[in-house]
Chains A and B, each alone.
Chain A
Amino acid sequence: MRLSADTPSTPPPAPTRLDLLSAMLKIRAYEEQIVAFHAAGPFPNVCTSVGQEAAAVGVVSALRAEDQILTNHRSAGHLLARGADPGRMLAEVMGRSTGYCQGRSGTLHISVKELGVVLTSTIVGGELSLAPGVALSRAMLGGEGIVVCFFGDGAACEGIFHESLNLASVWNLPVLYVCENNQWQAFVHRTETMKGDFVAPWAAPYGIESLTVDGNDVEAVRKAALQAAAQVRETRRPFLLEAWTYRQRGHMEPHDQSYVDPAELEAWLAKDPIARLEARLLADGELTTASLEALHAQARHAIDAAAEFATSSPYPDLSDLAAGVYA
C-alpha cells in the first residue's frame, strides 16, 4: 500500500575514481583535524573513522538523493560522503550554535535531515531499532528511496540487531543494512564477543541475503553497494552488506591503542584504503605525484576553512538550555 505518488528516481552521475579519492581524503583530513584539536588542548571526545573511509565513500556514493541514511557515533565519513559541510560538523562537535544540531548533539549524534541523514543515535543499536520504521514510512508513504542503516560489528551483538532484521524481513522493508566490521567494539576485540569472524551470515536465518566485501577497497565497496542498493530498490526487501575494515585509531580521541595488538594494527595499516587507491591510480597513470599532492592540499584547505568557521562560531545562548524539547 502506498499513500502517495512515487517520485521518479534518477541515479546520480557516476563519480570518477579521482572523485572517490577526493571524498576519502576529505574525510581523512577532517579526522586529522579532530586529532590536531585534541593535541592542542581539551576537546570533546570523538570517535574517528580513520581507516574506514572506503566503506563510507563506497556505500554513500552508491545512493540516490531520495535515499535515507541512519548512522551512529562514528559518522563523520558517512556525513561528509553525503555532502555535509565540514564546518557545520566541526561546529557541532565543538558545541557551537552553527552546528547541524545547534550544538546540542555534539559529535555523537549528528543528524542532517536535509541530506537524508536521519535519527543518528549513539546508543549502540539505536539506528538498528529505528531503521525499520523509517523504511515503513517509505513503504507506506511512497517514494523509490531506500533506507541505509550503518552499524558496527559490536552493534550486531545487541539483541536489537536481530529484532531489526527479523521485522524488516517479515514486513518486507527496504533497508540496506551496512555493517562496518572494523574488528573492534570500543575496547574489546570482536574475537572476544562473536564466534565467527563475520556478521553477514547472521542475516540468512532471517531470510535476508548478504554479502561481505573488502571494506578497504573503495571501488569494490561501491560496486557491491550499487548491487545491494539496486536489489533493495527492486525487491523492496532488506539486504545486509558487510564491509570488512579496520578502526585505525583508538575507540575515541584522546587516542589510546595500548590494548591493540601492534601486529594486527600494522597489518591493517598496510591495507590503508586511501593508500591503496592512490597506488592504483598512480600505477594506472590517472595520478601523478604532483596531482596527488594537489588533491591532498585541496582536502586540507577545505578542512582548514571548516576549522576556522567552527572555532569562530558562538556557543548557543544559555537561555536556549531547555528550549525545543517538545514539538
Chain B
Amino acid sequence: MTQMTFHDAVEAALHEEMARDPRVLMFGEGTATKRKGLLKAFGPARVRNTPLAEGIITGTAAGAAATGLRPVVDLTFAPFLCFAMDELVNSAGKLRYMSGGQFSFPMVALAMTGGGWSVGAQHNHNLEAWFVHAPGLKVVMPSTPADAKGLMKAAIRDENPVLFFMDIGLLFTPGDVPGEEAGDETMVPLGQAAICREGTDVTLISYAKTVHACLAAAETLAGQGVSAEVVDLRTLKPLDEATILASVRRTGRAVIVHEASRLCGVGAEIAALISEQAFESLKAPLVRLTGPDAPVSASYPLEQAFAPQADAIAEAARQLAARNLEAAPIW
C-alpha cells in the first residue's frame, strides 16, 4: 500500500495498463503537457496532445477502438462532453449493436466534475445519468484513490466504451492504494458496489464524493443508536443491483444520495429498482437527497450547498429509522 491522491492513482493505473498493453494510448487537450510521466515512459505516439475539439477527439477514439487500439481520451471537464455526445452516444454506444456485433469500442473517456473549484456550471455538471441512460456505454464514478486505480484498470481492459468520471472534490485527497506488485489484485471489476460500512437499520446508497458525506452521517448516527450501512456504487452502469437489494432487504430502509440533480438521476433508477424488487422488505418510504434542478453556482458557499451534506443525510436517516411500516402499515 502507498498513500497517493485520486489523481495520482488514476495516473498509476494508466501507467500500468500502458506498460502491459501496447495498444493502449491516451490523448486529449493538454494530455502530453500535463502527463509528463506517461509521455516520458511511452513516447509521443502513445501520449498525445490534440487540437481543442472534443468531437474529433472522441470520434477518433471510437474509430481507433473499433479497429484495434484501446484509447483513453481525457475530455477534461464533464460539460465539454456535450461536444462529444454524438461520438459517444451514436457511435461508440450504438455501432456495436447496429453492426451486428462486428465492432467493439474498448475505450475510456475521462472527465472531471463536481463541486470544489468554484468553476461554475459550464465546468461542473454531474451529468453521469445521461450516459447511464444511453445504451452501450458503461459509467464509473469512484470515491477513493484505490477504487479509482482499480476501476481505471478494469475500464481500460473492458471491451466496451466506459465513461470515467472523476469528482473534482476528491482529486487531491490521498488514500491507501495498492502498488503494482499487487498485480491484478488491484483491479476493481466494473459493476461491483462496495459496502464501506455495515449496518442494520438503514442503508445509505451513494457514489463519488457524497459517499464520504454518508460515512460521516453514519458515524453521527452510530452515536445516536442508529446503525447505518453505506453502499458505494462505484460503477453506475452496470449497476450492482444484487448488493443494493440485499442491503435494503436487511435494513428495510434506504436513503439514496448524490450530488447530481434529482430528476431522472441515478437515484431515481435505484428507487425504482428497490420498489420493484424489494418492496416487501421496506419499513419506510425511500428518501432521495440530491442536488436541485439548477445549474451549479460558481459562488463557493452555493456550490458547496448544492451537494447533500452529512447532517441532512443523518437527519433523513434518523427520521426513517423511527418509522416502521410493518408495525403500522399505511397502505
Q: Which residues of A contact B53 (CB under 8 A)?
A: 157-159
B196 touches A (CB below 8 Å)? no
B118 touches A (CB below 8 Å)? yes
Beta-carbon contact of B51 and A193 below 8 Å: yes
Main secondary structure of the interface of A (DSSP, over half): loop
Beta-carbon contact of B29 and A188 below 8 Å: yes
Q: How far is B54's CA from A154's CA once the two chains are assembled, in angstroms?
A: 12
Closest to B55 in A: A159
Q: Mark A183-205, 1 if CB is under 8 A from B, else 0.
A: 00111100011100000000000
Q: How far is B300's CA from A125's CA once the two chains are assembled, in angstroms?
A: 26
| A interface residue count range (under 10 / 10 to 19 / 20 to 34 / 35 or more) | 35 or more
Q: Which residues of A contact B134 (CB under 8 A)?
A: none
B33 touches A (CB below 8 Å)? yes
Closest to A252 in B: B119
Q: Which chain A residues (106-136) contact chain B, with CB distance < 8 Å?
A: 106-109, 121-126
- Given known pairs A45-B119, A325-B294, the reply for A187 and B33 (CB within 8 Å) is yes
Binds B, one of A59-67, A270-278, A316-324: A316-324
> Per a CB cutoff under 8 Å, which of A95, A154, A194 touches B301?
A95
Number of A-B contacts (CB under 8 A): 119
Q: Which residues of B contact A96 (CB under 8 A)?
A: 299
Beta-carbon contact of A106 and B298 below 8 Å: yes
Q: How far is B114's CA from A196's CA once the two chains are assembled, in angstroms?
A: 37
Q: Enumerate 16 A-B pairs (CB-CB under 8 Å) in ascending A order.
A: A44-B300, A103-B298, A104-B299, A108-B122, A123-B82, A124-B52, A154-B51, A154-B52, A157-B52, A158-B53, A192-B49, A316-B299, A318-B301, A321-B292, A321-B306, A325-B294
Q: Give B contacts to A, CB under 8 Å.
A: 29-30, 33-34, 49-56, 79-80, 82-83, 117-123, 292-295, 297-303, 305-306
Known: A95-B302, A154-B52. 14 other contacts (CB 8 A): A44-B298, A95-B298, A103-B302, A104-B121, A107-B298, A123-B122, A125-B83, A159-B55, A185-B29, A188-B33, A318-B302, A321-B297, A322-B294, A325-B295
Q: Give A contacts to B, CB under 8 Å.
A: 44-45, 95-96, 103-109, 121-126, 154-155, 157-160, 185-188, 192-194, 259, 315-316, 318, 320-322, 325
